[in-house]
Structure 1
Amino acid sequence: MTVAGRLAEIADLGRDAERSGYSRHLFDASDPPLRAWFGSSAEALGLLVEEDDDANLWAWWMPQPGAVRHDAIATGSHLDSVPGGGAFDGPLGVASAFEAVAQLRADGFVPVRPIVVCAFAEEEGSRFGLPCLGTRLLTGAADAASALARADAAGVTLEQAWRDSGRDPERVGPDPERLGRLAAFVELHVEQGRDLEDRGLPVSTASAIIPHGRWRLTITGEGNHAGTTTMDLRADPVVAFAGAVQAVREVAASRMPGARGTIGKAQIIPGGTNVIASRVIAWMDLRAFTDDDVREQYALTLQRMRAAVQAEGCTLDVHEESFSARVDFDDELTARVTAALQPEFGQVPAIPTGAGHDAGILSAVLPTAMIFVRNPTGVSHAPGEDARDGDCEAGARALAATLRMLAGSA
């Protein structure tokens, strides 16, 4: 099979007729068939499949029957998406991992160390607002009780969704024993930008993940009648929100070139056409090159936001939902991945990314590295995300070469 062929097997799962693209979220209707696809793909390759207590999937290739699972080389990514996302962000890494294993098996390669393919739960955080949920729970980077108390847009808590899926929320939390079996993690991912396209290269490694934070904003005004309330008597949270959005953009644009600020999700309450809203809830995403840069960007943005909100006679409440510190990938592991790629691809660059990844969370407990596959459009988190078939196959070969090097020696 090919990577494209593997992706075609799940191409109809989680399609979003309203937004276009894909909307695949933890424990929604697309989740069981995606997990079933993972299981059948693994079993077809003779891999042993299991799900951990944090809803992450694992498919083990053991050096010999009954071997102890330690010093394993892990690879894979995630299967969920943002609302209306593309076909490659996440699934490409899982499909490529299975294809890399298939290539190694076809070549008669027998690993000295175990190889395990992973699909981590809710990497995007789109349903419950916590990115890299599966790996944060697995490593203890997120408190299990706090995570389980989170609710989705319909008010369903993660704990309830966990129970409804037939899983036990009492078992959710850190799994140091499982993590102790791993020696390294290498995640293949479609590039979320045009760096490789501009360089004319099919693959690269990653140098770092720049830091980012997510905040929930609640702007409260006074609900009233749109037709009877004169303009001078209004405290309209939507007007205040417009000023807040502008503040995010102005501060990000005035900072260093790497700063980014976005508000991409908002709820207007109560949402009537002839009603002045009483409240706006929105989510803000800020990113920059260093942790301190993001914190400074946040402080300046908040200052401008408060001025805009107060000018409209409204109030602002801000809650930090997550903060992901800068991650510099393991130098030694990245050098070994680069060496594995060199025979076919030459001296590939190591490039930074502004997108968060499970490899970033896992980097706190074991060496991690990433391989990027060229994206000709540079678009990500949208239906226009793309990767050429030839580049996808090149990525699988790059990953196979990496696994051969890492798992081929004790």
Structure 2
Amino acid sequence: MWRDLGAIGRDKDSGGYRRLAWTPADADCRAWFRAQAETRGLAYEVDRNGNQWAWLGDPAAGDAVVTGSHLDSVPDGGAFDGPLGVVSSFAALDELRARGVRPSRPLAIVNFGDEEGARFGLACVGSRLTAGQLGLDKAHALRDAEGISLAQAMERAGYDPEAIGPDPERLARIGAFVELHVEQGRALADTDDAVGIASAIWPHGRWRFDFHGEANHAGTTRIEDRRDPMLTYANTVLAARKKARLAGALATFGKVSVEPNGVNAIPSLVRGWLDSRAADQGTLDLVVAEIEKAAVERGERDGIDVRITRESFTPVIEFEHALRDELGRILGKDGGTAVPVLGTGAGHDAGILSGAVPTAMLFVRNPTGVSHSPAETASEDDCLAGVTALADVLEGLACR
């Protein structure tokens, strides 16, 4: 499975993956998922929001145990973020069958669409739509860098954009959702533990900073006559790093666009996107407020109009304690050592669904902590340990 999936959407120059939502690479990943489901005799379906499902047992019976993750990537992303969870889900089902156990509850594997938000700028679109956290109008208004709307992209890929929206009936069938994911960080790297359990997802959001200046000639405009938004943007980037470091938070300007984007032209507009996260809401609010203040104050000095828009936000998400504790009991059986419980700054579909169904997460050790990069990795032994852990959890939840 890993070998077959690994060839899809990989850039030969960077070595990273470019599996953006509703592109040919995404379609190939979706075809792979369907083939895996049908090879195992699972009932395959696509929901109204384009998420793929593979069912063992009757979906209408309710109280289903669901696992899975996503197959799309960030630009030049790594091989493990998302796909490890999907591949491990199919492998865990194979393990359950090899053990000869029979689920007493319906069991499903899911591939949520457009989790990374790399194309349309909003993460977890598939799960947000399903959970009713993304309205139809806003969803249809999402556009990529080429001006193609989400609706147009879905339609071109063969899906009905008019059908998207909340899916409470589907969510009501789910008794528990457990997502396995490669660790995005290195909390497990210096331990003897290949697998950890998630405790919570930090509050996080994305803010767009628009710095409006005045376009002019780079070779003839005196320094004192310039209204250069690049200077204000650069100062804001440095301020973000400083404010986050002092508060023990995270703040990153990872995307920028420039107009008119000429080598010999002073920009008229610099637009940058801030991603900020912290362990608690108060810290996050403080850091973002200080970054915004630094941007506005520097803009006043530079003669730049600064406009700030919050594009998305997710509050702190505590995974259901009862389900989390149940995972701990299952994986710590026979008096074994307690499984580490970790917080994470990364968002996930499990976090989006947590407001509607009990959710939990397993992390597989990442020796370097690198993620969203071709250097992202996990050892084969640790991946297999993750499969075994997921199979144990599914057996404990669905086969009791």
Scaled by the length of structure 2, the TM-score of the pair is 0.97
- For 1:357-396, list aligned pairs within 5 A: 357-396=348-387
Aligned to 1:333: 323
Identity of aligned residues (%): 47
Query: Is the Cα–Cα contact under 8 Å of residues 23 and 157 in structure 2 kept in the other structure?
Result: no
CA offset digits 1:167-192 (Å, max 9, x no partner): 11111100000001100100000001
Matches within 5 A, 1:88-103: 88-103=80-95
Q: What is residue 261 of structure 2 aligned with on the other side? A: 271
- Report the alpha carbon displacement of residue 147 of structure 1 after superposing the two structures with TM: 1.6
Say whether residues 1:32 and 2:27 are aligned partners: yes
Within 2, Cα distance between the matches of 1:20 and 1:274? 33
Report the Cα offset of residue 343 of structure 1: 3.6
Alpha-carbon distance between aligned partners in 1 of 2:155 and 2:395, rounded to the nearest angstrom? 40
The SS at the match of 2:262 is coil
The residue aligned with 2:7 is: 12
- The answer on 1:21 being equivalent to 2:21 is no
SS at match of 1:74: strand
Matched residue, 1:3: none
Contact 1:123 1:134 in 2 (8 A): yes
Aligned to 1:324: 314
3-state SS of paired residue (1:271): coil
> 1:61 is matched with which residue: 56, 64, 75?
56
Q: Does 1:183 align with 2:175?
A: yes
The answer to whether the 8 A contact 1:73-1:114 is kept is yes
Q: Whole-Å Cα distance in 2 between the matches of residues 20 and 304 of structure 1? A: 37
- CA displacement at 1:19 relative to structure 2: 4.2
1:67–1:210: structure 2 CA closer, same or farther, 3 Å change rule?
A: closer
CA–CA distance in structure 1, aligned partners of residues 220 and 347 of structure 2: 47
Do the aligned partners of residues 285 and 72 (structure 1) sit closer, same or farther apart at CA in structure 2, a change above 3 Å counting? same
Please tell me whether residue 407 in structure 1 is matched to residue 398 in structure 2.
yes
Q: Contact between 1:19 and 1:83, CA under 8 Å: does it hold in 2?
A: no
Determine whether 1:46 maps to 2:38: no
Cα distance in 2, alignment partners of residues 19 and 126 from structure 1: 17
How far off is 1:18 after superposition?
A: 5.1
Structure 1: tracts of 5 or more residues without a match = 1-5
Q: Match for 1:55: what amino acid?
A: G
Separation (CA, whole Å) in 2 of partners of 1:162 and 1:21: 24
Task: Identify which of 79, 96, 100 aligns with 1:87.
Answer: 79
**What SS is found at the alignment partner of 2:61?**
coil
Please tell me the residue identity of whatever aligns with 2:284: V
Is it true that 1:112 corresponds to 2:104 in the alignment? yes
* Cα distance in 1 for residues equivalent to 2:203 and 2:339: 24
Q: Give the number of equivalent residue pairs.
A: 399
Answer yes or no: is the 8 Å Cα contact 1:244–1:309 preserved in 2. Answer: no
Runs of 4+ in 1 over 4 A off after TM superposition: none
